[in-house]
Chain A
Amino acid sequence: GAGVSQTPSNKVTEKGKYVELRCDPISGHTALYWYRQSLGQGPEFLIYFQGTGAADDSGLPNDRFFAVRPEGSVSTLKIQRTERGDSAVYLCASSLMSGDNEQFFGPGTRLTVL
């Protein structure tokens, strides 16, 4: 079946602009996660959804970052007033249920803030 998909694959924006990154998890997966990977680093946890609710948003760096998952499937990560330091690959992952250790990752969105 289809894996996790993310759109866009690449996004270039200017400092101060607003961006939205979309994640389509594997069908039937209730748990969804966002990570951010900077060059030369491993992915860093941002936020975790179980169903529609954000169960843990402790990894969001500041209040410019927000994510939603209104129907318990597709999720959108929103970044306001982008800064150059936000440039990274944003990875989405899903798993069948909370506590299921295997998380399946999407290909990521490469965000570049000029």
Chain B
Amino acid sequence: RKEVEQDPGPFNVPEGATVAFNCTYSNSASQSFFWYRQDCRKEPKLLMSVYSSGNEDGRFTAQLNRASQYISLLIRDSKLSDSATYLCVVIALDYKLSFGAGTTVTVRA
């Protein structure tokens, strides 16, 4: 079983729509959680950290459910520029990032 699993998508949504997706992780000792964004043929970039209480950054909302071991990302009012692959990242030790395979989101005009 993979350490971090994501629905690969793709999620094809119109501009202005809301899109949400989850990832699950297997290691209950995981300490830190993140969403990274990766554009085609580019490097991953940190989108946001995920806190136990849930957190928002503009149009992006992240939630963590430790009991069920999943993390979610919700994007409101989707923009064309939100089209990317979103990577769920979990840290069990304090440096080793474990990545999911990514969820592809395509926002169409």
Residues of A within 8 A of B (CB): 31, 33, 35, 40-45, 48, 55-56, 59, 91, 95, 98-99, 101-103, 105-108
Contacts and interface: CB of A to CB of B under 8 A. Distances in A.
Contacts of B8: 40
Given A102-B46, A107-B42, A107-B43, A43 B99 contact: yes
A41 B4 CA distance: 11
B94 A42 contact: no
B42 A56 contact: no
Interface pairs A-B: 5 shortest CB-CB:
A42-B99, A105-B43, A99-B94, A42-B101, A43-B99
B26 to A, nearest CB: 14
B94 A45 contact: no
A71 B58 CA distance: 41
Interface in B69-109: 87, 91, 93-102
B44 A101 contact: no
8 contacts: A35-B99, A41-B102, A44-B99, A45-B96, A45-B98, A98-B95, A103-B46, A108-B43
Contacts, number: 52
B25 interface: no
Interface residues of B, number: 22
A103 B97 CA distance: 9
A101 B99 contact: no
Contact of A101 (B42, B45, B49, B102): B49
Contacts of A101: 32, 34, 49, 91, 94
A42 B95 contact: no
Contacts of B100: 42
- Residue from B43, B45, B49 with most neighbouring chain A CB atoms (10 Å): B43
B102 A91 contact: no
Contacts of B101: 40-42
Contact of A42 (B32, B43, B102): B102
B93 to A, nearest CB: 8
Given A40-B101, A91-B44, 8 more contacts: A42-B87, A43-B87, A43-B97, A45-B98, A59-B96, A99-B95, A101-B32, A102-B46
